[in-house]
Structure 1
Amino acid sequence: MAAKAWTGRTRRAFTSLGTVTRACHFAVKSHYDAVIIGGGRGTAAYLQKGGLKTAVLERRHVLGGAAVSEEIIPGKDPFLWEQTDREHIYRDLELKKHGLKVYMRDPHAFTPMLEDGVGGLPPRSLLLGSGLAMNQREISKFSKTDAKAYPEFITHLDKLAGAVHPLLDSPPVDIAGLTGGPLRRRTAALRSAVPLLQCGLRLGKNIPDFYEIITAPIMKILNRWFESEPLRATLATDAVIGAMTSPNSPGSGYVLLHHVMGELEKEKGAWGYVEGGMGGVSKAIASSARSHGADIFTEQDVDQVLVRSDGTAKGVVLKGGTEIHSRVVLSNATPHMTFRCLTPQSALSPAFIKAVEQIDYTSPVTKINVAVDKLPNFLAAPTPDSKPGPHHQCSIHLNCESVEVLEDAYKDCLEGRPSSRPMLEMTIPSVLDPTLAPPGCHVVSLFTQFTPYSLGGRGWTDQDREAFADSAFNWIEKYAPGFKASVVGKDVLTPPDLESIFGLTGGNIFHGAMSLDQLYLARPLPFLSDYRSPIKGLYLCGSGSHPGGGVMGSPGWNAAMAVLVDLKLG
């Protein structure tokens, strides 16, 4: 009966959310002050508020790029939202007023063990949330020493993450301006150094610790603080999530720091589910942009950026040949898509093109969306009455009870095959958001690692997708018997699928690896870190620019500010 409920009600359950937004009822104008390619609704709101008539052109039938909600059978609601949205952006765009509703998750993380219970008890598990006393009780099941050290570790991590905040809402330091150029640029360059100075002052004596965490393998740091599994492995997952790296790889510490920088409802490091799925974020931001006068269109596929003979951008041309002229063009696409697919190659130097080709987009992520007709029942935290427990609202970490398991999964992918025991991060947003599924049914989102872009030099087939999904489900079955029988629909999105559907080069959800060579002054390239491109009037505004990936809004905010400054200065 529940499976029939899915079949009969899925379309109604999802389209009623209003996240599938068709093209506006009015036509695209031939002239705008600013045109944004591929999303960028928040950027549009700021440009419109700054006095620029702005249009957003989205290739797909639904707004939001990868942050969308569609039918679960098939379903594409790809990513859990951590509001790394900066508080001032959240406030400026009045997202609550425009319908954004977030269900806070607490506890945050649940790591069940695969082991035999002792004395008839369930297998052990680790449950972490915002309550310090609860966290210490949970950790003490594995190590009393670790339970005692945990509060100091969290305080230390928060201090390092908080110090970085001034860098998120400003472009990187203008090194070229500091070292030469006209007086006006040198003055502006001095101002660009202020956030870096603020960061240094906040860090103070912790500067060596900060340097270590952004350069070291996360295990070097975790081993110093803790002795037990699964605590180290649970913390290590945030150091590798979305990244083709292992807990023992240099630089994995920064990925962990990036994941604890965010705030949700003013709570640091918090996570939550947006009502209606990720499309709810896009819908609210689009509503805000429209309220300021921005025009937002779907099913408008940009073919190329128009460039004048003097090397300046003058607008875009759509696939059908329609030209839209503008003073500036901003691209929310990846740097690769922007400069290798959308920009005339004759307008770019061979050296620049070669540098763009070197940007790393390696991704280990396969996303599996699942519709189930009953709630997973975990051996480590039984709920035989099918009522959600606190652990059901968490990020549920499976195959994450030891760092060795994570390392083995990574090594499989390095050898060109999907992990035989993949790292699985499961979320069940319908536990808190009843709009996502019929009564008694649930939406399960699986963020899986590690899977390569190609399999031994060949592409993924439908048979490969089925085999990997079946492997993932078999592992879930070990933790929650009955899961496989509850599946009534699924959608498997490998790295090539994420690339072709959402325009994510290499399937990389961050628009480029968050590695040390592609951060801050070097994101996406050392001479392309201030959102301005070699084509005057063409800007980057997506996650491929500083400060990087996540639904945070900072790249778009910074790019909008750069545009407004440039147009003001003439």
Structure 2
Amino acid sequence: MVAAAYLAKSGLDVLVLERRAILGGAAITEELYPGFKFSRASYLAGLFRPQIIKDLELEKYGFEYIPRNPSSFTPSLLNGPYGGKSLFFWEDAQKTWDSIAQFSKKDADAFVEYENFLGKVRELIEPLLDGPPPDLTFRAGNAKERKRNVQQIYSLLKSAVKNRDILGQCYQLFTGPASQILDSWFESEILKTTLATDAVIGGLLSPSQMGSAYVLLHHVMGEAAGKKGVWAYVKGGMGALSGSIAASARSAGAELRPNSFVKRILYDFDKTTGKQKASGVLLNDGTEISSRVVLSNATPYHTFLELLPGLRDGAGPLPADFQRQIRLTDYSCGALKINCAVDSLPNFACLPNTSDKPGPQHHGTVHFENFMEEIELAAREAAMGIPATRPLIEMTVPSALDSTLAPPGKHVVQLFVQFAPYKVNPNIGSWSDQTFKEQFVDRCFSIVDEYVPNFSSSVLYRDILSPLDLEYLLALHEGNIMHGALCLHQLGYSRPAYNWHRYRSPLKGLYLCGSGAHPGGGVMGAAGKNCAFQVLSDLGL
């Protein structure tokens, strides 16, 4: 929808087709249980590009961030090694220092330097987000594209010179294991483990694996409500963000049509070029819609291999090598989402509620892991096709800060679970087996109950999105929430395939505008904006 809004603002006739009854893909708000509104899939905003909010006037159409302070809370067990101490990340640097100092004063000092380092890294890579990867040959595209390319490279060089003292560390952050990076900064397990959760979200890898440090960086390189490196709620749930984009697109003249299941991308022979070109789409009901260009926000796999006849090398209009690259893309992820309606606030044993009003422990993301080995063990199990015995679990309670989401006195609790592999060892079970799925969720609940004794008994309703459900409901191939793993060999010049990083595809007139294109996964909007500019350039506008 971001691409649609930009294209419509440029005067093009734009039609958006959404397979479900609700617009927004994974960024949606649904009332699944009376009175409770869930951000059913995506649940936090922290990567969405600020310039898009400004360009599309999203605040005018109801978009509003709800900052979270503190942003993070890690409880510990009363009978555990930390004796019920808890770790908070506050907006106030001194309060964060005090919280970390409970575990290590050395780490409390180092954390200030670590945050400054990440700030420099964000500044260094920011020019890479708002356009395709730079063309170092200076030959790609038309004059307008080459001008933008020169400006991007200049911004990168300027930022590199300014931050040249951290270039070596930045290289390590792009290529190394998160555990090694964190070990070089900190000594306390609870702090390293809390930070390491960002290194595995949406990826079937452990903090000790090469490339996991980049995944950590990917999750802290954005900003929300003017604050760098933090995540926020969207008032009304993530569907409110999609709703504001839709409203902006409509105001510019775009038509948005839900309940429109695209069955095929159509193509025909272009006599001018002597090659095939995209010519429109075929809907499930048999309707054909013609178009000069087609933009897909679906995964590369769904776009190029399922919506086009590309499952066999050489079939359809795509080159065999391109098809092979798309087919062999790593889609391992291991994400599972549980949305809960509860009749009372979570009551943490280490920080009990003092009233029925939310406290700071309910504001941010709650982490239930205290030791790195917990994440490593879960990752090893998942890599063998075993849903982790103790998966990584992140809890958020958005209704603690947004009263529009639940009835008075009741709350929405979201559990994001990592290390639930899509490909389960058949000797163990299958996500298609409802009993198997429920048993896994019960195990997740029992982990939460160790820290929040009232949790399971407070649940009125639960909605479970296994990797298989994510694939079926949202067309996320193998349940990958990033439209393809954030591995170094699948980023930049190789996203979605080597040499096809500028949003075009080998089929003329067909473009990729979602998370499967540069700069990658998350509710970012960057690929949509960048793709729209590429389309306008190709059309000579």
Match of 1:363 in 2: 333
Q: Does 1:318 align with 2:283?
A: yes
Distance 2:461 2:525 in 1: 33
Match of 2:470 in 1: 498
Moved over 6 A (4+): 179-188
Is contact 1:101–1:275 with CA below 8 Å preserved after alignment?
yes
* 1:218-239: CA deviation from partner (whole Å, max 9, x where unpaired): 1111111110020000011111
Is contact 1:173–1:196 with CA below 8 Å preserved after alignment?
no
Distance 1:68 1:182 in 2: 37
* Mapping 1:240-279, distance limit 5 Å: 240-279=200-239
Paired residue type of 2:263: D
* 1:423-447: CA deviation from partner (whole Å, max 9, x where unpaired): 1100000101111111111110000
Secondary structure at the aligned position of 2:33 is classed as: coil
Secondary structure at the aligned position of 1:314 is classed as: strand
Among residues 47, 59, 75, which one is paired with 1:84 in the alignment? 47
Distance 2:96 2:447 in 1: 26
Match of 2:119 in 1: 158
Is contact 1:360–1:512 with CA below 8 Å preserved after alignment?
yes
Match of 2:197 in 1: 237
Secondary structure at the aligned position of 2:157 is classed as: helix
* Mapping 1:33-44, distance limit 5 Å: 41-44=1-4
Q: Which moved more, 1:528-537 or 1:316-325?
A: 316-325
Distance 1:410 1:545 in 2: 26
Q: Does 1:424 align with 2:393?
A: yes
Match of 1:335 in 2: 300
Among residues 392, 396, 405, which one is paired with 2:374 in the alignment? 405
Secondary structure at the aligned position of 1:91 is classed as: helix
* 1:71-95: CA deviation from partner (whole Å, max 9, x where unpaired): 2339662222223221111101111
Q: Does 1:170 align with 2:131?
A: yes
Q: Does 1:459 align with 2:430?
A: yes
Unaligned runs of 5+ in 1: 1-40
Secondary structure at the aligned position of 1:371 is classed as: strand
Unaligned runs of 5+ in 2: 270-274, 311-315
Is contact 2:78–2:349 with CA below 8 Å preserved after alignment?
no
1:387–1:534 distance in 2 versus 1, CA, 3 Å: same
What is the TM-score of this pair, normalised by structure 1? 0.89
Match of 2:324 in 1: 354
Give the RMSD, CA atoms, in angstroms.
2.0
Paired residue type of 1:113: S
Deviation of residue 194 (structure 1)? Answer: 3.9
Distance 1:166 1:335 in 2: 24
* Mapping 1:427-506, distance limit 5 Å: 427-457=396-426, 459-460=430-431, 461-506=433-478
Deviation of residue 101 (structure 1)? Answer: 2.0
1:195–1:172 distance in 2 versus 1, CA, 3 Å: farther
Match of 2:272 in 1: none
* 1:155-196: CA deviation from partner (whole Å, max 9, x where unpaired): 011111121111100111235x64689999877765664454
Match of 1:34 in 2: none
Paired residue type of 1:69: T
Q: Which moved more, 1:75-84 or 1:517-526?
A: 75-84
Is contact 1:170–1:195 with CA below 8 Å preserved after alignment?
no
1:131–1:319 distance in 2 versus 1, CA, 3 Å: same
Is contact 1:364–1:450 with CA below 8 Å preserved after alignment?
yes
Deviation of residue 422 (structure 1)? Answer: 1.2
Match of 1:375 in 2: 345
1:242–1:182 distance in 2 versus 1, CA, 3 Å: closer
Secondary structure at the aligned position of 1:448 is classed as: strand
Paired residue type of 1:139: I
Among residues 215, 227, 235, which one is paired with 2:187 in the alignment? 227
Deviation of residue 201 (structure 1)? Answer: 3.2
1:380–1:352 distance in 2 versus 1, CA, 3 Å: same
Distance 1:541 1:360 in 2: 19
Distance 2:362 2:121 in 1: 30
Match of 1:127 in 2: 88
Q: Which moved more, 1:88-97 or 1:378-387?
A: 378-387
Paired residue type of 1:347: P
Deviation of residue 384 (structure 1)? Answer: 4.4
Secondary structure at the aligned position of 1:78 is classed as: coil
Is contact 2:27–2:39 with CA below 8 Å preserved after alignment?
no
Is contact 1:108–1:394 with CA below 8 Å preserved after alignment?
yes
Is contact 1:76–1:491 with CA below 8 Å preserved after alignment?
no
Number of matched pairs: 525
Amino-acid identity (%): 46
Distance 1:556 1:323 in 2: 24
Q: Does 1:509 align with 2:481?
A: yes
Deviation of residue 115 (structure 1)? Answer: 3.6
Among residues 98, 119, 138, which one is paired with 1:137 in the alignment? 98
1:348–1:380 distance in 2 versus 1, CA, 3 Å: same
